[in-house]
A and B are shown apart, each in its own frame.
Chain A
Amino acid sequence: MCRTGIEPPERVWWKKVGRHEKVWVWIAFAWCMVLFAMMPVWHLRGGQNPSGIRHRVEPADFQARVAEFVQEYQVGTDNGLPVVEPPPGSDVYLQASQYAWIPVVRLRQGAEYTLHLSSVDVNHGFSLYPLNINFQVVPGYDYGLRIVPNEPGEFHVMCNEFCGIGHHLMVGKIIVVPGDAAAEAEDAPADASSNVGGDR
Chain B
Amino acid sequence: MSAFRTCPTTGLQVHRTADQLIKANAVVATVALLVGGIAALLVLLTRWEAVLLLEADMFYRMLTIHGMNMLIFFIIFFEMAVLYFASAVLLNCRIPAPKTGWVAFVLMVVGTLMVEWTMWTGRADVLFTSYVPLRAHPLFYLGVILFAVGALTVVGHFFAIITVARKEKAYEGSLPLVTYGALTAAAIAAVTLLHGAIIYIPTFLWSLDLMHVDAQMYRLIWWGLGHSSQQINVAAMVSIWYLLGALTVGSVVLNEKVSRTAFVLYVLFISMASAHHLLVDPGMGPSWKVWNTSYFMYMAVLASMIHGFTVPAGTELGMRLRGATQGLFGWLKRAPWGDPGFSSLAFSIVVFGFVGGITGVTFGTEQINIIAHNTLRIPGHFHATVVSGTAMAFMGITYYVIPLIFRREIAFYRLAKIQPYLFAIGMLIFSMAMTFAGTFGVPRRHWDIGFNQALFQPEFSPAVNLIIGVMAVGGLIAIVGGAIYIVVTVVSVFFGKKMAADDSGLGATGRGLPPGITNPPRPLKPEDKEALGPSGRLGPVPGTMVLVLIFLAAFIMYYFVNWMLLSFLWEVG
Contacts and interface: CB of A to CB of B under 8 A. Distances in A.
A133 B246 CA distance: 46
A158 B458 contact: yes
Contacts of B566: 46, 48
17 contacts: A5-B253, A6-B90, A7-B246, A8-B176, A17-B257, A17-B258, A21-B539, A28-B302, A28-B309, A35-B365, A79-B455, A81-B455, A133-B371, A138-B216, A138-B219, A145-B572, A156-B458
Interface string B494-526: 000000000000000000000000000000101
Contacts of A11: 172-174
Interface stretch (B201-209, B325-333, B415-423, B540-548): B540-548
B249 to A, nearest CB: 10
A132 B567 contact: no
Interface residues of A, number: 98
A2 interface: yes
B370 A51 contact: no
A18 B573 contact: no
A99 B257 CA distance: 55
Interface in B161-208: 171-178, 181
Nearest to A107: B570
Given A52-B282, A132-B375, A150 B570 contact: yes
B569 interface: yes
B371 A132 contact: yes
Given A21-B313, A196-B573, A199-B286, A136 B257 contact: no
Given A138-B282, A141-B216, A6 B456 contact: no
Contact of A15 (B255, B298, B457): B255
A27 B309 CA distance: 12
Interface in A1-16: 1-11, 13-15
Interface stretch (A63-71, A87-95, A166-174): A166-174
A148 interface: yes
A197 B374 contact: no
Given A2-B526, A6-B176, A20-B538, A32 B219 contact: no
A123 interface: yes
A165 interface: yes
B125 interface: yes
A42 B367 contact: yes
Contacts of B216: 138, 140-141
B176 A146 contact: no
Interface string A116-144: 01100111010101111111111111110
Given A6-B176, A9-B176, A133 B570 contact: yes
A162 B365 contact: no
B445 to A, nearest CB: 5
B79 interface: no
Given A2-B526, A9-B177, A141-B216, A160 B374 contact: yes
Nearest to A130: B441
A16 to B, nearest CB: 8
B172 to A, nearest CB: 7
Nearest to A163: B134
Contact of A2 (B60, B239, B282, B524): B524
A193 interface: yes
B279 A31 contact: no
Interface residues of B, number: 117
A110 to B, nearest CB: 10
A197 to B, nearest CB: 3
Contacts of A4: 242, 245-246, 250-253, 318
Nearest to B539: A20
Interface of B: 56-57, 60, 90, 125, 127, 129, 131, 133-134, 171-178, 181, 214-216, 219, 239, 242-243, 245-247, 250-259, 278-286, 289-290, 293-294, 297-299, 301-302, 305-306, 309-310, 313-314, 317-318, 321, 361, 365-367, 369-375, 439-441, 443-449, 451, 453-458, 461, 524, 526, 528-529, 538-541, 545, 548, 552, 555-556, 559, 563, 566-567, 569-573
A5 to B, nearest CB: 3
Contacts of A27: 552
B573 A51 contact: yes
Contact of B174 (A5, A9, A21, A197): A9
Given A46-B567, A146-B573, A167 B286 contact: no
A71 to B, nearest CB: 21
A197 B552 contact: no
Contacts of B371: 132-134
B267 to A, nearest CB: 17
B320 to A, nearest CB: 11
B255 A21 contact: yes
A128 to B, nearest CB: 8
Given A138-B215, A158-B443, A162-B127, A79 B456 contact: yes
A177 interface: no
A51 B242 CA distance: 42
Contact of B458 (A18, A19, A33, A171): A171
A102 B247 CA distance: 60
A50 B366 contact: yes
Contact of B294 (A5, A9, A39, A197): A39
B178 A5 contact: yes
Contacts of B257: 13-15, 17
B133 A5 contact: no
Nearest to B297: A36
Contact of A1 (B281, B445, B529, B548): B529
Nearest to A121: B133
Contacts of B290: 36, 39-40, 43
B569 A133 contact: yes
Contact of B567 (A20, A48, A80): A48
Contacts of A76: none
A49 B572 contact: yes
Given A5-B242, A51-B286, A135-B280, A160 B444 contact: yes
B252 A3 contact: yes
A42 B370 CA distance: 13
Given A50-B369, A133-B370, A135-B373, A32 B133 contact: no
Contacts of B570: 48, 131, 133, 147-151
B455 A169 contact: yes
Given A36-B298, A133-B569, A173-B456, A28 B305 contact: yes
Contact of A162 (B243, B317, B370, B445): B445
A9 B441 contact: no
A85 interface: no
A42 B287 CA distance: 13
Nearest to B284: A54
A80 B456 CA distance: 11
